[in-house]
Amino acid sequence: DAKTTQPPSMDCAEGRAANLPCNHSTISGNEYVYWYRQIHSQGPQYIIHGLKNNETNEMASLIITEDRKSSTLILPHATLRDTAVYYCIVSGVDYKLSFGAGTTVTVRA
Amino acid sequence: GAVVSQHPSRVICKSGTSVKIECRSLDFQATTMFWYRQFPKQSLMLMATSNEGSKATYEQGVEKDKFLINHASLTLSTLTVTSAHPEDSSFYICSASKGGGYTFGSGTRLTVV
């Protein structure tokens, strides 16, 4: 399975955009990039996923580089409720989602 | 949207007893269900993958006789922690998948005393 690398933590000011990077240099052609977040003591919440095109939904935008070796999740206007651990995951064989350490995002007022 | 219900949300049991956790997909039929375990301040660790009507596939290091998984229908999977011990205390989370989408339950906090 392709592994991902994310910074362990980042701070963001409330109301500003939060840009979360993820490296997945060993991704293969048919593997998707998924983003989930987990707020303390809850199950992971789906944010967005993509294959090679940029994607946008009501929660976030996903920018995938042309070589697909990295991506960026953009939360356009961070709020205090966006404080969570964000996981970038590449779908592996048998369609399993294997979680890495993620990025702990703290949104500050 | 897709909803997965996990029950119970919290359970405390005595050492040596068994505990069953249910995972239901409420508004879709899941082709595959996954079970994860999460210890404090750690990430989710995949325990097993199950498909309806077939035996679960366990990840390396996960004891299949201790963590019994039954996937009797396309909407229900259960995880039974048998002869639980304090070291099994953890946060257990299920996920249901269909067509490339993965929806997670809200998790079960198991405490073995």
**CB contact (8 A) between residue B57 and residue A94:** yes
User: If chain B, 113 residues long, is cut into consecutive pieces of 10 residues, what is the mean pLDDT of each piece?
Assistant: 93 98 94 94 94 90 95 92 97 92 96 98
Closest CA relative to residue A76, chosen from A54, A58, A92 = A58
Q: Find the largest Cα–Cα distance for chain A.
A: 42
Give the residue carrying structure tokens 């219900």: B5
pLDDT on residue A40: 87
**CB contact (8 A) between residue B102 and residue A94:** no
**CB contact (8 A) between residue B102 and residue A98:** no
pLDDT on residue A78: 97
Q: Which parts of chain A sit beneath pLDDT 50?
A: none
Interfacial B residues in 64-103 facing A (CB < 8 Å): 91, 93, 95, 97, 100-103
pLDDT on residue B112: 98
Cβ atoms of residues B4 and B24 within 8 Å: yes
Q: Is the Cβ of B3 closer than 8 Å to some Cβ of chain A?
A: no
Which residue of B lies nearest to A51 if distances are taken between CA atoms?
B100
Q: Which two tokens stand for residue A14?
A: 């409330």
pLDDT on residue A1: 58
What number of other Cβ atoms are within 10 A of residue A41's Cβ? 13
pLDDT on residue A2: 63
DSSP B48-62: EEEETTS--EEPTT-
